[in-house]
Amino acid sequence: MLKLFCPDIYIENIYKLDLQYIKRKNIKGILIDLDNTLLPWDSVYIEDRLMGWINQCQEEGISLCIISNNKYGRIKHCAEQLGIPAVFGSFKPFKKVFKRGLDILGTQAEQTAVLGDQIFTDILGAKRMGLFAILVKPINDQEFYWTKIMRKLENLLLKIMESKKLISLNR
């Protein structure tokens, strides 16, 4: 049961992701969350550093696709600005959004990772689909009211998984 919530890697932020390690795992595509993973919640300002990271992924042959539970207009705007595709009209952790993402990336499940900041959407969805799951710390603590409530439960789960040595934060 716990393994459905347990990420394969837990990192401080996207810039800490070791792309060579990912490539050695034969991962060719990443389904990536938007809010508090790529951008602060509800922000549309895109730092040069973020564009640099996206370019670096693409140069390494890793395709990206956004999967987000935020509003259509916001996802579309950000995806266009970032120059990467996005899945619309379905929600994490339901399988449909991940299946659509795999279609867009053109990758098999075992070649695909999910990168996100929430256990009950990003990680649970990844694990249900047999995808490699990468958890990042949220960029900041501004988010939906509902997400803030879920964070309390997430933090408890993280503590349990850490105490069982199932995860450790790679800083």
CA 141 to CA 37: how far, in whole Å? 12
CB of 96 to Mg ion, least distance (A): 18
Please, which residue, 45 or 163, has the CB nearer to Mg ion? Answer: 45
CB of 59 to Mg ion, least distance (A): 25
CA 148 to CA 140: how far, in whole Å? 11
Please, which residue, 58 or 140, has the CB nearer to Mg ion? Answer: 140
Please, which residue, 117 or 154, has the CB nearer to Mg ion? Answer: 117
CB of 63 to Mg ion, least distance (A): 20
CA 115 to CA 14: how far, in whole Å? 8
Please, which residue, 72 or 108, has the CB nearer to Mg ion? Answer: 72
Distances (CA, A) of 143 to 20, 68, 82, 95, 148: 32, 13, 21, 24, 7
List contacts with Mg ion (CB under 5 A): 33, 35-36, 117
Please, which residue, 35 or 154, has the CB nearer to Mg ion? Answer: 35
Helix, strand, coil % in the chain, rounded to nearest 5? 45, 15, 35
CA 27 to CA 8: how far, in whole Å? 13
CB of 133 to Mg ion, least distance (A): 14
Tokens of 60: 């390494």
Sheet holding 169-170, edge to edge: 86-87, 63-67, 29-32, 112-116, 132-136, 9-11, 169-170
CB of 35 to Mg ion, least distance (A): 4
